[in-house]
Structure 1
Amino acid sequence: MNDALPEFSPETCARLRDAFRAARYDADGVVDLLGAQAHAALGRGEPEPARRASRDADALGVLIRLFLLGDTEPVDAVRSALSPLPLEDALATGIVRRVEGEETEGLRAGFDIRPHGDEHGSWWVVSDLDPEQAGRPASPDHVLGVGHASLSLVRATSRRPAESVLDLGTGNGVQALHASRYARRITATDTSPRALRLAAATFALNELDVELLRGEWFAPVARRRFDRIVCNPPFVVGPPRVDYVYRDSGLAGDDASALLVRQLPAFLTEGGTGHLLASWLHLRGEDWEDRVHRWLPPGTDAWFVQRDVADPSLYVGTWLRDTGIDPRSAEGRAKAAAWLDWFAENDVEGIGFGFVTLRRTETTAPTVVCEDLRHAFDDPLGEEAAAWLDRVDWLRAHESDLLDVVYRVPDNVVLERIEEPGEEGWATTVRRLHRTDGPGWQHELDELTTALLAGCRGVLPMSDLLELLAASREEAPESLRTAARPLIAELVRHGMLEESR
């Protein structure tokens, strides 16, 4: 465990912020100096191009090498780059530390303090150094930086305006930073005192007023409700133990994800939404959809999106390396053996991972959808999640007259055909409806459905189109109407069919 809790005073944060601003140590300034290629290389874990690009860049170059590359920098250069923050204060706080055992006296970063931006501007995020920079495995109370999981949750969270937001398990505070773009009031909680100290430093550096509370799960906000809750929880599944607070919940298997899904809706206002990352077990003889469906409390609309399913052995190796443990070492072999034994004893065939969107609703028949979305896509899922809930509302309002609506196929939806040569020429073997934006939904169609959707041009109601199709294909109208209802609902939910206005 880290020896002492860091203490970033308001004065220290104000002076450090002034130093960063004077040097243009922000998201745009770093990219402008490094250039696109060196910046991309840095993101891939290849620091040398960035080191070369920052070599003659005065204060900004020093800060980049110090905080982003983990280099040792001369004392006088660091003193100048951090001004007006006195070097003595930076050393006392732990922002920088003296390097021992080297011929040339120098300083290294004591924390990972790096710019993080969006399309509206830039922040600074304070976290612990990763194991490679620190030169040792992560400590149990390690505070993770802005990783792929954090960024994926940012992209999967709706940015529609909200009065109040809860960032449950805030860690370094990055989710709360993004919430500041759309929320009037933000509350952030964590069970780790160290995480709360570093999150407080993040918020002070960025001049944000965030309520910080300590406690497990929802205990710090008992009897309160929020318009939106975001959570990047300790979702790693396995035996009930806590090696690292940022990833391990102390609950067995996927019980942490189950707890969140069960309890979160009770802390939402009516119509409020929750966005979280979650993991679920794929057990022998059990459908994962049935498993997560059982977690839900009544009165909750839910959208489970599975982004990946990991093999247990790959899963264990990945998470060992994440904390700086070599799976080939004695410690790594022992931890891997215990972890894999637990998976085998509990019939675990895979570990699913993805996004969960929840909404508190008064309806007695909430909508629950589980689906795979493992292909790559570029658009943020957060706007899609918000639109998905809008479409669920529309379907609920039109449940009784779904076939009386005049529909159109949106311009962002195309039909793909795959044809093979046959005795009578080319024959269509696959008809696939494809949405060209958002998550890129795809639906395989039969010939009848293809013909039906061809008529959805904003002129005739669906009931008339079904009658015409039945007459032209000599099909029973009632059977077509019965088959069309679930198909229409699914296409509407995926934004591939919409009411013509």
Structure 2
Amino acid sequence: MNDALPEFSTDVCSRLREAFRNAHYDTDGVVALLGPQAHAALGRGEPEPARRASLDAGSLGVLIRLFLLGETEPRDAVSAALAPLSLDDALATGIVRGADGDGLRAGFDIRPHGDEESSWWVVSDLDPEQAGRPAAPDHVLGVGHASLSLVRATSRRPVESVLDLGTGNGVQALHASKYAQRITATDTSARALRLAQATFALNELDVELLQGDWFAPVARRRFDRIVCNPPFVVGPPRVDYVYRDSGLAGDDASALLVRQLPGFLTENGTGHLLASWLHVRGEDWTDRVARWLPPHTDAWFVQRDIADPALYVGTWLRDAGIEPRSAEGRAKASAWLDWFAENDVEGVGFGFVTLRRTAATSPTVVCEDLRHAYDDPLGEEAAAWLDRVDWLRAHRDDLLDVVYRVPDTVALERIDVPTEDGWSTTVRRLHRGDGPGWQHELDELTAALLAGCRGVLPMNDLLELLAAAHGEDPEALRASARPLVEELVRHGMLEASR
């Protein structure tokens, strides 16, 4: 197990917060001191440029080396940097711990974290490299790539209530504080709740904290939004680390969440979560995840990556500080890969799931592969996607009577190849320049149809003109146009003219 549960009192957090503010130990202060190059290097796991930049920088430099770089600092320097929090209280709480000689090291990872408008502090356990030992079973992870990707994949539209299921260090709840009036955070781990409590106290946030498995702590309650970064690692049914292992076999943890989450949403409430799913020989992953859904649920599954089983196992071993070449690493890898082989697993998919509780009799369920790179946050796109689903539902009967336009963010790319008669177009690809960067390959007729979508004529009139110009059957064109229009509207590549 990890060290004894820390006790971050309100008074300790208040004085620590004052020390951080006095030293400008926040996101802006750290970036300003380190500069963009050293800060970027630190994000890549290259600490030396940051160490050099922090020298002779007073208390801020001490805090950076202590908490961000994991270095040993002189006792007197740490005492001055943490004032008005006394060194005795810092040691008693475990914020710092003794090291070789008269030096002190950080006992926890306490680092600034922010968005475009706010700066917070997040409390978590030291990573295995800084702690000098493998992660403990109840290790509380810091703000990693998965956490940040969920932040970006979650809608920020204002709501009254948010549930952060499996809060960990509390980072999702921090971001929810920008748009929610009430926040409830749960976790199965007592240690995670204690560190999340410290995170919230440091940032003066009032968050309801509850301990228990899955949805048990909030039975018979409903929320406007649920966010969840669950223990989604797939494999044998075991728990080595509570932050990543559910104790359920394969992708059963993701299946449980998708199946149960909508029942804890208010009408039209939304859920945003990370999930993993197995790619099993002879089975389409979209069929697999769609079977998890309960009735009356709109769902958007976005697959961001597919990992080879061997790569997947090696990645998660290293994440826990276990060298794959060690005896322990080889034994764990062997058992893990045996399980994959026994269950015909060819790959592990990973991505985002957006769910909405709906009264509609025919919910919309879409599974998409978005493994290409894009920079825009997916959260606002997910909210807009649900808006477009509503619009399509409302215009189901008159979809082709609407006047459409192609947004200015959409462009048509042509790829021509040389022929004996000149250039010949072999590919016509519609691109959306913002959001997830959707692409659709078109034939010549569809490209001509969309060229006419400039907010003047209804789609039915454009189809009549296209049929007359190309000698096509109008009814056949209408039948093929309907699913195309639905997909382009869902992707924000075709919109009703205002």
1:474 corresponds, among 471, 475, 497, to 471
**1:320-335 equivalences in 2 (<5 Å):** 320-335=317-332
- 1:55 aligns with 55
Letter aligned with residue 482 of structure 1: A
* 2: CA distance, partners of 1:312 / 1:34: 39
Letter aligned with residue 329 of structure 1: S
* 1: CA distance, partners of 2:140 / 2:322: 17
Letter aligned with residue 170 of structure 1: T
3-state SS of 1:213 partner: strand
**1:155-304 equivalences in 2 (<5 Å):** 155-304=152-301
**Matched residue pairs, number?**
498
* 2: CA distance, partners of 1:51 / 1:309: 36
Structure 2's unaligned 5+ residue stretches are none
- 1:454 aligns with 451
Give the drift of 1:105: 1.3
Indicate whether 1:125 and 2:116 are aligned.
no
**1:287-366 equivalences in 2 (<5 Å):** 287-366=284-363
Runs of 4+ that moved beyond 4 A: none
1:418 corresponds, among 415, 420, 429, to 415
Give the drift of 1:188: 0.1
Indicate whether 1:406 and 2:386 are aligned.
no
3-state SS of 1:437 partner: coil
* 2: CA distance, partners of 1:241 / 1:404: 56
* 2: CA distance, partners of 1:442 / 1:291: 25
Give the drift of 1:3: 3.2
Indicate whether 1:488 and 2:485 are aligned.
yes
Give the drift of 1:423: 1.2
- 1:373 aligns with 370
* 2: CA distance, partners of 1:488 / 1:111: 53
* 1: CA distance, partners of 2:178 / 2:375: 21
* 2: CA distance, partners of 1:451 / 1:438: 24
3-state SS of 2:160 partner: strand
* 1: CA distance, partners of 2:105 / 2:88: 14
- 2:93 aligns with 93
Structure 1's unaligned 5+ residue stretches are none
Q: Deviations over 1:95-123 (max 9, x none)?
A: 00001xx3x41000000000001111100
- 1:37 aligns with 37
3-state SS of 2:120 partner: strand
Letter aligned with residue 57 of structure 1: A
3-state SS of 1:233 partner: coil
- 1:443 aligns with 440
Give the drift of 1:125: 0.1
- 1:140 aligns with 137
Q: Deviations over 1:367-420 (max 9, x none)?
A: 000000001100000000000000000000000000000000000000000000
* 2: CA distance, partners of 1:121 / 1:397: 38
* 2: CA distance, partners of 1:36 / 1:292: 41
* 1: CA distance, partners of 2:487 / 2:129: 47
Letter aligned with residue 111 of structure 1: F
Indicate whether 1:7 and 2:1 are aligned.
no
Query: Considering only aligned residues, what root-mean-square deviation do their CA atoms show, in Å?
Result: 0.4
- TM (norm. structure 2) is 1.00
Give the drift of 1:259: 0.1
Identical aligned residues as a percent: 85
- TM (norm. structure 1) is 0.99
* 1: CA distance, partners of 2:240 / 2:2: 14
Letter aligned with residue 293 of structure 1: A
Q: Deviations over 1:241-264 (max 9, x none)?
A: 000000000000000000000000
Q: Deviations over 1:251-305 (max 9, x none)?
A: 0000000000000000000000000000000000000000000000000000000
* 2: CA distance, partners of 1:94 / 1:406: 64
Indicate whether 1:25 and 2:7 are aligned.
no
- 1:434 aligns with 431
1:150 corresponds, among 139, 147, 170, to 147
Give the drift of 1:445: 0.2
3-state SS of 1:199 partner: helix
Give the drift of 1:349: 0.2
- 1:395 aligns with 392
* 2: CA distance, partners of 1:168 / 1:311: 28
Letter aligned with residue 431 of structure 1: R
Letter aligned with residue 271 of structure 1: N
Give the drift of 1:447: 0.5
* 1: CA distance, partners of 2:3 / 2:13: 22
3-state SS of 1:126 partner: strand
* 1: CA distance, partners of 2:476 / 2:309: 45
* 2: CA distance, partners of 1:355 / 1:235: 12
Letter aligned with residue 7 of structure 2: E
* 1: CA distance, partners of 2:81 / 2:228: 36
- 2:79 aligns with 79
Give the drift of 1:498: 0.1
Q: Deviations over 1:160-203 (max 9, x none)?
A: 00000000000000000000000000000000000000000000
* 2: CA distance, partners of 1:108 / 1:283: 46
3-state SS of 2:121 partner: strand
Q: Deviations over 1:329-355 (max 9, x none)?
A: 000000000000000000000000000
* 2: CA distance, partners of 1:121 / 1:9: 24
3-state SS of 1:269 partner: strand
3-state SS of 1:351 partner: strand
3-state SS of 2:276 partner: strand
3-state SS of 1:20 partner: helix
* 2: CA distance, partners of 1:74 / 1:208: 32
Letter aligned with residue 446 of structure 2: T
